[in-house]
């Protein structure tokens, strides 16, 4: 089962920094992310979503491959690539995996201009090592699917920027 964690930051670049840190930790097998997205509220109050995976580009690449393969079978590879890329890009743009975009926009409305928020869906985590890496960034917990105790302990770690509380079971 996945856990959702949404954390707000006062800086519009901080959430992206934390997301990149989590990607490094994922490569070290300390965390398994199902999804990670950043919401930025610029100085004008506009909300921008930054998905970790560009589904449109991924769909276009996949569609191009399959279109080329099918097009080659019917002696029209260029048409197959074009049709495959178009249909793949369209299906990628219409699909939504991970954290719901509307939910992220909703919470993003509550951010102050010039700030950001990180939304992560994680399936597995080594809490002590991951918290040690993300605690220096600080942040305010907006929403989680963690227990009340774990959510409170997570906020304490972020507020105190690394002073170790009791172990958090995620």
For the segment 111-131, what is each residue's pLDDT rounded down to a tens digit?
999 999 999 988 888 888 998
For the segment 19-60, what is each residue's pLDDT rounded down to a tens digit?
999 999 999 999 998 888 999 999 999 999 887 654 444 455
In a domain, 166, yes or no: no
Pick the closest to residue 156 from 145, 143, 170, 140 (CA basis): 140
What span, in angstroms and rounded, lies between the C-alpha atoms of 103 and 100? 5
In a domain, 109, yes or no: no
Q: Residue 163: is its pLDDT beyond 60?
A: no
Q: pTM higher than 0.85 for the full model?
A: no
In a domain, 169, yes or no: no
62: tokens are 């996949």
In a domain, 123, yes or no: yes
In a domain, 108, yes or no: no
Q: Which residues of 71-85 are buried (b: 16+ CB within 10 A; e: fewer)?
A: beeeeebeebbbbbb
In a domain, 104, yes or no: no
Which range marks the domain in which residue 135 is found?
3-53+115-160
Residue 70 is predicted with a pLDDT of 66
**Antiparallel, parallel or unpaired: β 140-144 and 47-51:** unpaired
Structurally, the chain folds into a number of domains equal to 2
What span, in angstroms and rounded, lies between the C-alpha atoms of 89 and 73? 22
């Amino acid at each position: 089962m996945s856990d959702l964690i949404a954390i707000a930051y006062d800086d519009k670049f901080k959430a992206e920094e934390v997301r990149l840190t989590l990607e490094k930790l994922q490569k070290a097998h300390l965390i398994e992310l199902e999804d990670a997205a950043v919401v930025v509220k610029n100085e004008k109050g506009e909300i921008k979503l930054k998905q970790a995976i560009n589904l449109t580009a991924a769909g276009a690449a996949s569609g191009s491959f399959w279109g080329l393969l099918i097009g080659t079978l019917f002696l029209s590879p260029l048409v197959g690539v074009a049709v495959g890329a178009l249909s793949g890009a369209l299906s990628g743009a219409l699909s939504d995996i991970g954290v719901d975009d509307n939910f992220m926009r909703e919470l993003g409305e509550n951010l102050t201009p010039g700030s950001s928020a990180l939304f992560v869906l994680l399936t597995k985590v080594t809490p002590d090592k991951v918290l040690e890496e993300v605690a220096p960034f600080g942040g305010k917990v907006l929403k989680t699917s963690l227990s009340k105790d774990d959510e409170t302990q997570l906020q304490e770690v972020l507020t105190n920027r690394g002073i170790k509380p009791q172990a958090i079971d995620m």
